[in-house]
Structure 1
Amino acid sequence: MTASLTPAERSAELSNRLRRVHTRITSATAGGAAPTLIVVTKYFPASDVDLLAGLGVTDVGENKDQEAAAKALSVQAQDLNWHFIGQLQSNKAKSVVRYAAAVHSVDRLSLVTALGKAMAAEQSRRAQAGEQPRADLDVFLQVDLREQAAAGGSSGAGAGTGAGRGGALPRELPELAEAAAATPGLRLAGVMAVAPLGADAREAFARLAALSGELQRDHPGADAISAGMSGDLEAALENGATHLRIGSDILGPRPPVR
């Protein structure tokens, strides 16, 4: 919560910001199907997440496992869907499956394997504890939309060694999709991408939509497209985005990282 605001004042601020974003979405979809709005709460306190839940938000996104795991345990709202949207190290998979309904950044085979093993371990843990089994984990295949990736060059992300935003090469998607679809505990949901810096977002998301269409020929149920942030949500919706990841336009400027 913003330090200078009371909880009631912060709730009112969030409500106003949410209303403006929903207005943009309604305008961009022309009354069509509403996308899933994922509010990205990284670096903001658990108190903000609880306020958002009170305003009707059902889906929140986090980029770092350490912060997300602690926040998921501390929030009072119990019916939230947590989306992991940042680059994920394979050794964090066991932690992520404890709280996340979806991972939007699957960009290499080793991560598919790690998530599958983590899901098996989590289901076993729950069974031994007498808890209900968890639902399958939704996985989105993250695509590198930069020009060199489209041309078939190496981004480094497919091997998990690339810096920056990550993402698999377009030509790597069929193999990744087959692996995810064949892994028990995982549900292949669709594709995800971030518009490259300095690129035309509409052109980038049009390429993503085309890749989504190719994916659905072999995996008809994998029809979700996770695309669009505060600055380019309209471009994403024009190209079929089903999931938006919005942070600053709802929560305001990111607080200083301590």
Structure 2
Amino acid sequence: MSVQNKKIALQFENVDFYYKNDVEQIPILKNVSFSVSDGEFVSIVGASGSGKTTIFRLIVGLEESNSGSIYLNGKQAKNRLGKVGYMPQQDLLMPWRTIRQNAALPLELQKDHLDRNTVNNLLEEFGLKGYEDKYPHELSGGMRQRVSFLRATLSGSNVLLLDEPFSALDAMTKLFMQEWLLEQWEKQQSTILFITHDISEALFLSDRIYIITDTPFSTLEEVNVPLERPRQQHHLDKKEVVELKNNLLERFRMRV
């Protein structure tokens, strides 16, 4: 089924948002509309302070828009806290809880029955077998991010928000984690909205990319990624992908 024929998992409709201090209102989003289809992988690329994380805070429910509507799976969502899976840049694992206990936290918060075997099976699927009873400080950065992603998926939502989850990893681990993330996404058929500063990362992972070049912004420039799936890192060397990357880099360079 093509993306055009899929249902919409996430939608912004004419959303305005501004921060207010003692002196003035600082606009970030002005009449913004965009959508992400069910099962799609979409990235948002923009400079620091452009409003990328503000979009996530609005989706999660940590901020409320000043006007406009936000829809999850076709329904206008007034109270969105706990309704989407969220994976932040820092893994935020609780150091006093084991890996199993950290992974199962969303189930505890939802008061779902904790099936030890189910959680253990998921830990094995995520490459964490043998680490269930260890603590976060005993794991590498990449493994900690696997736990964080597992915790996000256990939210029960088909919509997952990933906010620069690999930016703190070394270059080699980052590449491996990107490949691992695509494998998990394809297995779970979830919808992912991904924030990154890394244009190569966005091109490798995404079906589409939304570009933010100005703040405040009223439109998200949309770029379709000219790569089929499944993907490997060397596919980024294709001529049309290299040209697209250079074009995007030049657009950002002109605004620095």
Which range, TM-score by smaller chain? 0.3 to 0.5
Higher RCO (C-alpha under 8 Å, 6+ residues apart): 2
Answer 1 or 2: which has greater strand percent: 2
Normalised by the size of structure 1, how large is the TM-score? Answer: 0.36
